[in-house]
Amino acid sequence: MRASTRRNGNFTFVIPEKIGSKLLKKHANVSKQVHGIYTRPTKRWILLVFFGLILPNIAMIVPRQTDNGKIDVVVIDAGHGGHDPGNLGTGRYSKKEKDVALATALLLGKYISENIEGVKVIYTRTDDRFLELYERTAIANREHADLFISIHCNSGPRSAYGAETFVMGLAREDANLEVSKRENSVIFLEDNYEQNYEGFDPNSPVSNMANTIAQRAYLDQSIEYATLVQNQFKGRVQRRDRGVKQSVLYVLDYTFMPSVLVELGFLTNRSEEDFLITTNGQELMASAMFRAFRDYKNHRDAVSDGIKVDQPQQTIEEVIAVDQSTIEEPEPSVPSFTVQIAVSSSLKELVPQNFRGLDGVSYYKEGRLYKYTYGEYSSLKDAEVAKNEAREAGFEDAYIIAFLGEEKISVSEAERLLQ
């Protein structure tokens, strides 16, 4: 598979024979139904190629007349919204992923508008509303964005933390499957998803092959911006760098421009949630993405002006590496209480409907078991109230446990430390 790029932004695609014939077959059926006319086999073949293969690709890829290869239009996408809250974090705050994503997205757009002349900033949402994934990508495609930035927050075991940025995945990687499932899962909440996401199956690595071919040309630039973002997070905001990763994500596969999905950090980790929930934390993360944008734009604009820029090209393999190193986080010296409500050998999604309506469920892992907890409190008294709530909800065996940082300690030890 090769894709060559010319400076004016037009692309020539060489479709591998195998995929080409597969696509042809797929479109052949459609064309038969649509046209219903008799043509001699060779002519029909030409028609099929044009209507089935060439036309859709032209429609997708041809940039607007004014496109000069410069970065003039950026679409900023705050993840989730409305009845889709995203992840709920530790449950200690009323703010959820959708709120942190929106606040940070608006700040990023503000910094770009105020500091860089001539860049059009477009948001997919500016308030707490539900948007389907295809609407987000449609906005970016319609506006001919030069860069698409989707902003999210991660969830995971309470010990997981750090920031990571995703670019379009060419192949499914197991390590990133959880993020892929979670950030795509809204598709299944949407009405008529089969109709709107025809051909996109988040669980199938080959379903979006056609888009992958088109998008391949944008991957290098996506990686360039993603790398700048991660360097800023790490160098200037002292976040743990989980790296640039690839995943099969709808909003990245269906935007026909360089596009990234930023996971600012884990709201399920207490220290990271404490940071991301504050205006200061959001300002720091937004300004990091802003500086990365400014550097990216300077570089891309210079390239389109024909200025030779000395910047060693990193290969995908060099950039995309899952960061396995662990960075020790200082343990907080204040204990906390929570209510253990259930144990399971499989990981359930942390949504109220999975926990008899309880909002604010988190989990920790012990051995092979996932242990689900409800709420998090600095006093035993508050934890008692939560325990009673959990029991009333039907978790009759709910009981209080205590933590010091990520370490489980006895309730009496926690009480002693509090004195």
Sites of contact with Zn ion (CB under 5 A): 79, 86, 152, 183
Give the residue with the Cβ less far from Zn ion, 101 or 402: 101
Give the residue with the Cβ less far from Zn ion, 152 or 270: 152
Of 13, 3, 6, 112, nearest to 69 by C-alpha is 6
CB 93 → Zn ion: shortest distance, Å?
Answer: 16
CB 86 → Zn ion: shortest distance, Å?
Answer: 4
Of 401, 380, 224, 236, nearest to 315 by C-alpha is 224
> Cα–Cα distances in Å, from 285 out to 32, 47, 273, 282?
52, 51, 13, 5
Give the residue with the Cβ less far from Zn ion, 86 or 243: 86
* Type of residue at 70: K
Inter-residue contact 260 to 247 (CB < 8 Å): no
Lookup result for tokens 């999210």: 152
Give the residue with the Cβ less far from Zn ion, 152 or 299: 152
CB 40 → Zn ion: shortest distance, Å?
Answer: 52
Q: What is the Cα–Cα distance from 371 to 353, expressed in whole angstroms?
A: 17
CB 216 → Zn ion: shortest distance, Å?
Answer: 25
* Residue 156 CB partners (closer than 8 Å, separation 6+): 178, 266, 268, 269
- Residue whose CB is nearest to Zn ion in the complex, by number: 152
Give the residue with the Cβ less far from Zn ion, 86 or 258: 86
- Report the first-to-last Cα separation within the chain, whole angstroms: 66
Give the residue with the Cβ less far from Zn ion, 125 or 297: 125
The helix/strand/coil state of 267 is coil
* Residue 174 CB partners (closer than 8 Å, separation 6+): none
* Residue 201 CB partners (closer than 8 Å, separation 6+): 207
Give the residue with the Cβ less far from Zn ion, 155 or 336: 155
Handedness of CA 242, 248, 251, 252 (dihedral sign): positive
Q: What is the Cα–Cα distance from 263 to 239, expressed in whole angstroms?
A: 12
CB 314 → Zn ion: shortest distance, Å?
Answer: 27
Give the residue with the Cβ less far from Zn ion, 92 or 152: 152
CB 261 → Zn ion: shortest distance, Å?
Answer: 8
* Residue 310 CB partners (closer than 8 Å, separation 6+): none
- Rounded to the nearest angstrom, the gap between the alpha carbon of residue 413 and the centroid of all alpha carbons in its chain is 40
- Give the number of other Cβ atoms within 10 Å of residue 98's Cβ: 25
Question: In this structure, what token pair is assigned to residue 205?
Answer: 């690595």
CB 339 → Zn ion: shortest distance, Å?
Answer: 26
CB 253 → Zn ion: shortest distance, Å?
Answer: 16
CB 231 → Zn ion: shortest distance, Å?
Answer: 23
- Contacts within 8 Å (CB) and 24+ apart, 408-414: 408/364, 408/366, 409/335, 411/337, 411/380, 413/335, 414/335, 414/336, 414/337, 414/380
CB 226 → Zn ion: shortest distance, Å?
Answer: 16
Give the residue with the Cβ less far from Zn ion, 179 or 214: 179
CB 346 → Zn ion: shortest distance, Å?
Answer: 21
> Cα–Cα distances in Å, from 247 out to 2, 54, 182, 250?
21, 27, 11, 9
Give the residue with the Cβ less far from Zn ion, 239 or 299: 239
Give the residue with the Cβ less far from Zn ion, 285 or 400: 285
CA angle, residues 112, 278, 356, in degrees to nearest 5: 120
